[in-house]
């Protein structure tokens, strides 16, 4: 039986994506070859990566003359280092918003390259809100923020005005809601949260921010060289990129980001409503900062945990355990999670209420 998969990442993808990807492993497009055994320089794969790169910009409504989409290797964490490597001047400075574990990881890596200015932090409350009321200084090379804090279940609803390039880690909410993506100069996202399987990272760059640093950059870490090589400086993650393309095509067929956002909001409202209504549960995040992607919540009485978890398991709910730094539960409701799965979880929460 197919589970109701609430895993935070790698995570659920659309069923039709799984089926098409599985078919391509056996025989890609009736070519007599598996997607796993074709050359990345073959006509077939070049068409795949070109379509994927173009579809990313189309869905984000970004001008392909101004922006470039790359599928790089190394995960979102790799971008923690690649961003300062490319964008920080030698002995430069960058501003960071500290909204959680991943933001912190990015700050630590940037410190290898220059000075980091933390403009706001919610560490004092174990990151249960988004820092607000800060200003982005002008004398920095860029400002970095994390749009959705996967571990803590907070999400930025607004982004600050900045006179410097804005860099955003959108790993866990890219393609989930409409934003004016042209306000961002560099967006990156590990594929495994809302785009595809693990193994590739999407980077979307406004071309004109590049070429400003005097730092010598090793070729494979140099965005300009990656752009020149059409995102194929070395062998890219062929299967992960193909499956990402299938997901992008699926998303377009659903009506794009605006259509999926409506469903994401319905799912989030259903679950948060139950968390607030049900006396056995409580949310961990300030209501105004709640993420539509990752809902974090606790049982008020931990003695109920074994019963709740057994009910979840019996209902086919998987991957709902909270991250160790928050505890409790985390329901990740990425684009491909059907509303029906949320209804099952809400029913289980109500069943628990009637049982204890």
Residue 92 or residue 190: which is nearer to ligand PLP going by CB?
190
Q: How far is the CB of 150 from ligand PLP (least distance, A)?
A: 3
Residue 177 or residue 193: which is nearer to ligand PLP going by CB?
193
Residue 190 or residue 328: which is nearer to ligand PLP going by CB?
190
- Is 150 labelled a binding residue? yes
List 141, 169, 173, 222, catalytic entry = 169
Query: Considering only CA atoms, which of 233, 337, 244, 351 is closest in space to residue 294?
Result: 337
List 193, 206, 222, 289, catalytic entry = 193
- Is 14 labelled a binding residue? no
Q: How far is the CB of 269 from ligand PLP (least distance, A)?
A: 22
- Report how far residue 162's alpha carbon sits from residue 146's, in angstroms, rounded to the nearest whole number: 15
**276 a catalytic residue:** no
**102 a catalytic residue:** yes
* HSE (side-chain half, CA atoms, 13 Å) at 70: 29
Q: How far is the CB of 190 from ligand PLP (least distance, A)?
A: 3
- Is 155 labelled a binding residue? no
- Tokens 């400003």 belong to 212
How many residues appear in the chain? 356
- From the CB of residue 23, how many other CB atoms can be counted at a distance below 10 Å? 13
Residue 84 or residue 190: which is nearer to ligand PLP going by CB?
190
Q: How far is the CB of 82 from ligand PLP (least distance, A)?
A: 11
Binding footprint of ligand PLP on the chain (CB under 6 A): 9, 75-77, 102, 146, 150, 169, 171-172, 190, 193
Residue 77 or residue 230: which is nearer to ligand PLP going by CB?
77
- Is 77 labelled a binding residue? yes
Residue 4 or residue 193: which is nearer to ligand PLP going by CB?
193
- Is 250 labelled a binding residue? no
- Is 15 labelled a binding residue? no
- Is 229 labelled a binding residue? no
**169 a catalytic residue:** yes
Q: How far is the CB of 208 from ligand PLP (least distance, A)?
A: 25
Q: How far is the CB of 319 from ligand PLP (least distance, A)?
A: 14
Nearest-5° angle of CA 56, CA 94, CA 86? 55
Residue ranges for the known binding site are: 41, 76-77, 102, 150, 169, 192, 234-235
What are the catalytic residues? 102, 169, 193
Residue ranges for the known binding site for pyridoxal 5'-phosphate are: 76-77, 102, 150, 169, 192, 234-235
Residue ranges for the known binding site for L-glutamate are: 41
């Amino acid at each position: 039986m197919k589970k109701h998969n609430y895993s935070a990442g790698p995570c659920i993808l659309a069923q039709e994506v799984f089926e098409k990807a599985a078919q391509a492993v056996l025989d890609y497009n009736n070519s007599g070859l598996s997607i796993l055994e074709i050359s990345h320089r073959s006509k077939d794969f070049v068409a795949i990566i070109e379509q994927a790169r173009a579809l990313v910009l189309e869905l984000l409504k970004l001008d392909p003359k101004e922006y470039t989409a790359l599928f790089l290797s190394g995960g979102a964490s790799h971008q923690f280092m690649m961003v300062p490597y490319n964008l920080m001047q030698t002995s430069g400075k960058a501003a960071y918003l500290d909204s959680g574990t991943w933001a912190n990881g990015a700050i630590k890596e940037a410190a290898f390259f220059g000075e980091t200015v933390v403009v706001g932090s919610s560490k004092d409350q174990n990151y249960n809100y988004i820092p607000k009321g800060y200003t982005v200084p002008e004398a920095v090379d860029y400002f970095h923020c994390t749009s959705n804090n996967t571990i803590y279940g907070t999400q930025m609803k607004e982004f600050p005005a900045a006179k410097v390039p804005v860099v955003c880690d959108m790993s866990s909410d890219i393609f989930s809601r409409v934003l004016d993506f042209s306000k961002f100069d560099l967006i990156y996202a590990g594929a495994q949260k809302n785009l595809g399987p693990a193994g590739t990272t999407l980077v979307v760059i406004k071309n004109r921010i590049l070429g400003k640093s005097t730092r010598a950059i090793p070729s494979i870490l140099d965005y300009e060289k990656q752009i020149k090589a059409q995102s194929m400086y070395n062998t890219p993650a062929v299967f992960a990129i193909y499956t990402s393309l299938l997901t992008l095509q699926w998303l377009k067929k659903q009506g794009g980001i605006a259509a999926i956002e409506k469903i994401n909001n319905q799912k989030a409202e259903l679950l948060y409503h139950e968390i607030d209504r049900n006396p056995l549960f409580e949310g961990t995040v300030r209501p105004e900062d709640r993420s539509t992607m990752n809902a974090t919540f606790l049982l008020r009485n931990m003695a109920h945990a074994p019963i709740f978890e057994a009910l979840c398991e019996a209902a086919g709910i998987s991957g709902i355990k909270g991250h160790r730094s928050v505890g409790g539960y985390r329901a990740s409701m990425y684009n491909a999670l059907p509303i029906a799965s949320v209804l099952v979880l809400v029913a289980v929460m109500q069943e628990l209420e009637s049982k204890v």
